[in-house]
Copies of this chain bind each other. A is one copy, B any other.
Amino acid sequence: MAVQRLVVVGGDAAGMSAASRARRRRGPGELEITAFERGRFTSYSACGIPYWAGGVVDGPDALIARTPEEHRDRGIDVRMRTEVTGLDLEKQRVLARDLESGEERWHGFDHLVLATGARPVRPPLEGIDAPGVHGVQTLEDGRALVDALNGGAAGRRAVVVGAGYIGVEMAEALVLRGYAVTVVERSSQPMATLDPDMGGLVRDAMTAMGIDVVTDTEVTAVRTGPDGTARAVATDAGEFPADVVVLGLGVRPETTLAREADLPLGDSGGLLTDRSMRVRGHENVWAGGDCAEVLDLVSGRTRHIALGTHANKHGQVIGTNVTGGRATFPGVVGTAVSKVCDLEIARTGLLESQAREEGLRYVTATIESTSRAGYYPGARPMTVKMLAEHGTGRLLGVQIVGREGAAKRVDVAAVALTAGMTVDQMTSLDLGYAPPFSPVWDPVLVAARRAAAEVASAS
């Protein structure tokens, strides 16, 4: 049998996990693996950039799980600074351009993995590309931002555009760097991935940390000074002076190549795959990570959720399947955790708005509890909100806002959602209890009890 050729487009989590897994299952005599990466790094943690920016971790080396050399040592031919600019599905080949030399060459494949990631949203506003305006998507972005922060003077002001995950994490980083921070958000709350009531808790906590949270406000331009660098962020609610501007507006799937090749894309613009991560309708084309949509097991819809943990799972599944194994990625339940300084934020499943969108009738329960037994030192407060389906009592979603020990409790709900449990079933879950770890009723159980009572009284 001829040596098979696996081509991977994109050298970060999904692509290199797929390549590594495939290599562990097949030696170089059976499978030739070539990975193209247009940047200067492979297998890095973009999610770590806010902590590098904040000086909490060293970068960029610590954020790199595996360098190109380490991949090469494992028998993966990594081509750095090489962008795939064309895709010919019929002839099973990709056109790769060496960004240094400008040289372009076609490379044939038997299996193709698209792991092109995501690109940050960057609205076409006046001044948006000025020096002093920073994205936080790549390690190059991180380097530029860290250099700017290191060079900053006293009395510094920062404006973060967008109050989603990246926005709030960058707000923390800038607070840690001693900046006076303003976060400008178009919607009516920070963390639009939470219901408004829970988002309100985040707003209150951020405000108490001294962060200026400006919502319902649209950015209209970035104002520059005489030297051309950013000096202020202009909005429909006035100008906010800024020594540094960080864009945290989220990301969109990078699927230019896929779109040109007429591969199937979902409503969010991400590649559509089956559960084996095979691109729908294409036997030998696979996609994973931030360029793909994922099935939301709670709503039954595909969504775009850019998260390194999904990308890694996709890569494992693809690496197994391209080498003749059988693995599936069944989908997600929408779990996400984040923090702003000591505030922890978590969610899984559906928000109220999403439940309504799905035509579901639901009840909600919101409770307050603590991370440890109330009498144990370090017990910190948390608010848990739970959504359950009217009538059936099926768990639909959980949101948690609290302090230390709050966020990871969402995992219990994530597993319960995956298993299709009712909130009543959850009330008797055998969760770990000891005073340093939990009140005698874990906060998730307290929420489940309240939700079960709501279900019963609404029926």
Contact = CB atoms under 8 A, between A and B. Distances in A.
B312 A441 contact: yes
B309 A441 contact: yes
A421 B441 CA distance: 24
B428 A313 contact: yes
Interface string A390-410: 000000000000000101111
A99 interface: no
Contact of A435 (B45, B316, B330, B438): B45
* Chain A: number of interface residues, binned into ranges: 35 or more
Given A375-B45, A376-B56, A421-B419, A337 B411 contact: no
A261 interface: no
Contacts of A133: none
Given A411-B411, A415-B415, A440-B312, A432 B373 contact: no
A62 B58 CA distance: 43
Contacts of A414: 429-432
B56 A428 contact: no
Given A337-B432, A419-B421, A430-B348, A408 B376 contact: no
B57 A375 contact: yes
A281 interface: no
Given A309-B441, A415-B419, 7 more contacts: A45-B435, A57-B375, A57-B377, A331-B428, A407-B437, A408-B409, A418-B425
Interface of A: 13, 45, 47-48, 51, 56-58, 62-63, 165, 307-310, 312-313, 316, 328-339, 344, 346, 348, 373, 375-377, 405, 407-412, 414-416, 418-419, 421, 425, 427-438, 440-442, 449
Instruction: In the A-B complex, list the 5 residue pairs whose CB atoms are closest, starting with the nearest.
Output: A419-B419, A337-B432, A309-B433, A62-B375, A415-B415
28 contacts: A13-B440, A47-B373, A47-B434, A47-B440, A48-B373, A48-B376, A48-B435, A56-B376, A57-B375, A57-B376, A57-B435, A309-B433, A309-B438, A309-B441, A312-B441, A316-B449, A334-B430, A335-B433, A338-B434, A339-B436, A339-B437, A348-B430, A348-B432, A412-B412, A414-B429, A415-B416, A415-B431, A418-B419
